[in-house]
Structure 1
């Protein structure tokens, strides 16, 4: 699957066996491999992973690839200690599938991605909402890691909206949620 400058390297199955998906994330920020080119892999807007046009249906394989995902500027890569290959990401690489409230003071919002990663919103992991300029439809995101975001699925955003509190800011009604003492704007209403 990955191609080094001179020869092919491990198959996806061999890579899966080399990376323990139950351990902490690998130290991607410490790895500086050579760029080996782009591969025909993409992550669709709805979070599905494809390789050579076919969907990767094994959750363990998707989880393994997500653990070696890296972002530089606007580009995404799969990165190992010895190679870095470019992939296409249509929107953002992660899908946020659930949220729960934890802690008492300050309250925390704990999110789970489709690959099982857990992230608590706060200063390090902010929530942001983009509005479609034509439809006004919100697109909510959460910073996951290494500058990469996850898109909150509709049910998660609806849960946040249910917990949101109304505030008057500069004469406008704004709906917000708080996590780790940080307030996040979900929109006006």
Structure 2
């Protein structure tokens, strides 16, 4: 393709087509529904057509997080596509610059936390002096909040 991908997603999760922001929710929901990720990157797959995207960081952003106690403790996260799901703490990572990420959509896609939902999770963390690490304790299981160079 000359000039690179026609569709771009910036670091704030805004979608663009040929430089113009896509604001129609119905189109954005269609894109989320047909989104894929492979070794080459993010793409839209509609029928036999596959169009790769230019993505600055991640397509999905975590916009909200809440600790819920419905039988078991879990963090319920709200994503920028309007969906909610349980946070898989086994996939929670803190990358360079203290930027938190996790995997969403059944582990298929990385998502970057916005500042507020990160604080909504981090306020429940404890510090272990001996191990020199912060961790979350949910349902009797310890989840270390480790820093990594790159989330994936």
Q: Deviations over 1:71-126 (max 9, x none)?
A: 00141110123221111111111111001111255310110101112221226x62
Structure 2 alignment gaps of length 5 or more:
148-152
Equivalent position to 1:151, from 95, 103, 112: 112
Question: Scaled by the length of structure 1, what TM-score is found?
Answer: 0.67
Q: Is the 8 A contact 1:121 1:179 kept in 2?
A: no
SS in 2 for 1:92: coil
Cα separation, 1, equivalents of 2:94 and 2:117: 13
Equivalenced residue count is: 142
Equivalent position to 1:168, from 117, 123, 129: 129
State the superposition RMSD in angstroms: 2.2
Q: Deviations over 1:137-183 (max 9, x none)?
A: 2111120135311110001111112111122353x1x2222457461
Cα separation, 2, equivalents of 1:50 and 1:128: 28
2:85 match: 119
Query: Quick check: which has more Rg, 1 or 2?
Result: 1
Question: Structure 1 residues 179 and 114, CA, compared in 2 at 3 Å: closer, same or farther?
Answer: farther
Cα separation, 1, equivalents of 2:64 and 2:101: 13
